[in-house]
Chain A
Amino acid sequence: MADEALFEFLHMEVVSYLFKTADEEKCIPILENMGYRVGHSLAERFTRDSSRFKDELDIMKFICKDFWTSVYKKQVDNLRTNHQGVYVLQDNRCRVLTQISASKQYLEAAPNYLAFPCGLIRGALANLGISCIVTAEVQNMPACKFQIMIQRSQ
Chain B
Amino acid sequence: MSRQTGRGTETKKVSAELFTLTYGALVAQLIKDYESDEEVNKQLDKMGYNIGVRLIEDFLARSSVGRCHDFRETADVIAKVGFKMFLGITPTVANWSPAGDEFSLVLDNNPLTEFVELPDGHQNLNYSNLLSGVLRGALEMVQMEVDVTFLQDALKGDNTTEIRLKFIRRLEDALPAGEE
A14 to B44, CA, bound (A): 10
- Restricting to A29-65, which residues have a CB under 8 Å from any CB of B? 30, 34, 37-38, 41-42, 45-46, 49-51, 53
Q: Which residue of A lies closest to B15 (CB)?
A: A70
Contact present for B58 and A5 (CB under 8 Å): yes
A3 touches B86 (CB 8 A): yes
Q: List 22 A-B contacts (CB under 8 A).
A: A1-B12, A1-B13, A1-B15, A1-B87, A2-B15, A2-B20, A3-B87, A10-B26, A10-B47, A13-B50, A17-B47, A21-B33, A22-B33, A42-B17, A42-B18, A42-B21, A46-B10, A49-B6, A50-B6, A51-B2, A66-B11, A73-B15
B67 within 8 A of A: no
Interface, chain B (partner A; CB < 8 A) = 2-3, 6-7, 10-23, 25-26, 29, 33, 43, 47, 50-51, 54-55, 58, 85-88, 111, 115, 130
Q: Are A10 and B51 in contact (CB under 8 A)?
A: yes
Decide if A2 touches B51 in the complex (CB within 8 Å).
no
Cα distance A5–B16 when bound, in Å? 12
Do A34 and B6 touch (CB < 8 A)? no
Residue-wise, chain A 1-29 has the 8 Å CB interface mask toward B (1 for contact) of: 11111110111011011100110000000
Min distance, Cβ A29 to any Cβ of chain B, angstroms: 12
Residue numbers in A under 8 Å from B29 (CB-CB): 14, 18, 30, 34
Shortest B164–chain A CB gap in Å is 22
In the complex, the answer to whether A6 meets B11 with C-beta atoms within 8 Å is no
User: Are A2 and B19 in touch, CB under 8 angstroms?
Assistant: yes
- Total A-B pairs, Cβ < 8 A: 99
* Chain A min CB distance to B2 (Å): 5
B3 touches A70 (CB 8 A): no
Given contacts A2-B87, A5-B58, A9-B51, contact A34 B16 (CB under 8 A): no
Main SS of chain B's interface residues?
Answer: helix
Partner among B3, B20, B54, B87 whose Cβ is within 8 Å of the Cβ of A51 = B3
* Chain B residues with CB under 8 A of A18: 29
Q: Is the pair A13, B47 in contact by a Cβ cutoff of 8 Å?
A: yes
Asked if A71 is at the interface of the complex by the 8 Å CB criterion, the answer is yes
Query: Once the chains bind, are A14 and B88 in contact (CB under 8 Å)?
Result: no
- Measured between beta carbons, the chain A residues less than 8 angstroms from B130 are 10
Q: Which of B14, B15, B47 touches A4 (beta carbons < 8 Å)? A: B15
Contact B19 A10 (CB under 8 A): yes
Contact A14 B7 (CB under 8 A): no
User: Is the Cβ of A17 less than 8 Å from the Cβ of B21?
Assistant: no
**Interchain CA distance A71-B3 in the complex, whole Å:** 19
Shortest Cβ distance from B6 into A: residue: A49
Known contacts A13-B47, A50-B7: does B14 contact A34 (CB below 8 Å)? no
Which residues of A sit under 8 angstroms from B54, Cβ to Cβ? 9
CA distance A16 to B43 in the complex (A): 12
